[in-house]
A and B are shown apart, each in its own frame.
Chain A
Amino acid sequence: MKTKKLHKIAPTLSSIKKDTGFQVSENYFQTIEDGVFAAISEKKLVNIKKSENFKVPDNYFENTEDVVLTKLKSELLENKNNSIPENYFENLEDRVFTKLNKKQKVISFRKNTFKYAASFAIAASLALIFILTPSNKGSEITFDSLETSEIEQLIQNGLIEVNSVTLSLAFPDFEVDNSLNNNSISNEDLLNYLDSQNIENLLIEN
């Protein structure tokens, strides 16, 4: 960019004296070489004589080409013997995608453990409560006799405590996941968790 052009597009800049403003003593440049040599000596670079410490067999370099070529030929032959099937790369993507799709259909038990255990815990606790609680009306209430809306109402009102302990009491033969056993999940936590999840995403994911 010429001065005139610079003046045209940047008049303020072009009016400034072209000087960085940085200063350095002139003596500095007289000693820089010695400083660098001192640093190199410190790093023991100058005094190391290259490759003199290593010996090679006599005539080693005379037949290097032959040795390399022989090795190369044998490697090429070996590769030929281990060759890959024809058209291997042509349908590789399809095979990978087929494999991927198969894997996606497998339901991850770990991922769903919490959801299934939680649902199971609700059902089991309700069954336990209604089987063991004496009826006020004199007639026995069973799980089947309850409407879904009534169960939901009870959970919302916090009248039913659902946790892994309740579950293990109701079904001693059922092995509860350790993580659930160690961390008791309260009704409130469970509802908060379910509220925080996008159910649609969970369904798509699985």
Chain B
Amino acid sequence: MINEKILVENLKNPKRQEEAFRELMGLYKKRLYWHIRKIVLSHDDTDDVLQNTFIKVFKNIHAFNEDSKLYSWMYRIATNEAITFINQKAKKRNIELSDLQIEMANNLQFENDFTGDEIQLLLQKAIVTLPHKQQLVFNMKYFDEMKYTEMSEILETSVGALKSSYFHAVNKIEEYLKSH
């Protein structure tokens, strides 16, 4: 298992930076990709956000506080980048973010890179009806099966609040699935 402390040291060392950064991307690219994908939904947008996330990590590694976990820090950057991205997209279209997300979820059935069946499509449609924070919590807990303590570090929210948020999200999704 990679020693995170050494990795961070190498990332801050100009001589080893590139090699360490390549290693870092190799370690986290898939997890971050799927995390972003569940927020922005399309592959092309995910690719943009993922690249921006890594670039931001690279640019800000000197400001990284080594008391926190590198993994949580990167996840937080990815989350912020993804949310900023969809907010800007909605602003460009001059529509509400929630309307944009509903439209994006409705269009999934026509996307080549979405191969989910009818019920999986319905689940995606249900998720975008949740408040934004609940969407994140639901995705991270339900699909990624992340621990509440990890989620707490990434989302900077207490474990209790996250549990409650997940509970509400599950109930709302169940209601949506039953009524559609």
Chain A contacts to B: CB under 8 angstroms: 1, 6, 9-13, 16-24, 28-29, 32-33, 35-37, 39-40, 43, 45-46, 49-50
Instruction: Assess the A23–B141 pair: CB atoms within 8 A.
Output: no
Give B contacts to A, CB under 8 Å. 14, 18, 22, 25-26, 29-30, 33-34, 37-38, 41, 43, 47, 50-51, 54-55, 58-59, 108, 113-117, 119-121, 123-124, 141-143, 166-167, 170-171, 173-174, 177-178
Q: Are A40 and B120 in contact (CB under 8 A)?
A: no
Contact A22 B37 (CB under 8 A): yes
* Nearest CB on A from B147, distance (A): 12
Once the chains bind, are A18 and B142 in contact (CB under 8 Å)? Answer: yes
CA distance in complex: A183, B33 (Å): 64
* The 7 residue pairs across chains A and B that have the minimum distance between CB atoms: A21-B116, A10-B174, A21-B120, A12-B177, A36-B54, A23-B113, A33-B25
Q: How far is the CB of B48 from the nearest CB of chain A, in Å?
A: 10
Interface centre among A9, A17, A22, A24 (most CB of B within 10 A): A22
A33 surroundings in chain B (CB, below 8 A): 22, 25-26, 29
The number of inter-chain residue pairs (CB within 8 angstroms) is 95
User: Inside 8 A of B41's CB, which chain A residues have their CB?
Assistant: 22
Q: Which residues of B contact A37 (CB under 8 A)?
A: 18, 22
Select which of A13, A20, A40 is within 8 A of B174 by beta carbon: A13
Task: Tell me how far the C-beta of B64 lies from the nearest C-beta in chain A, rounded to whole angstroms.
Answer: 15
What residues of A have a CB within 8 angstroms of the CB of B55 in the complex? 36, 39-40, 43, 45
Tell whether, in the assembled complex, residue B120 and residue A16 are in contact, meaning their CB atoms are under 8 Å apart.
yes
- Would you give 11 A-B contacts (Cβ < 8 Å), ordered by A? A1-B141, A9-B171, A10-B174, A13-B123, A20-B34, A22-B34, A33-B22, A36-B54, A39-B55, A40-B58, A45-B59
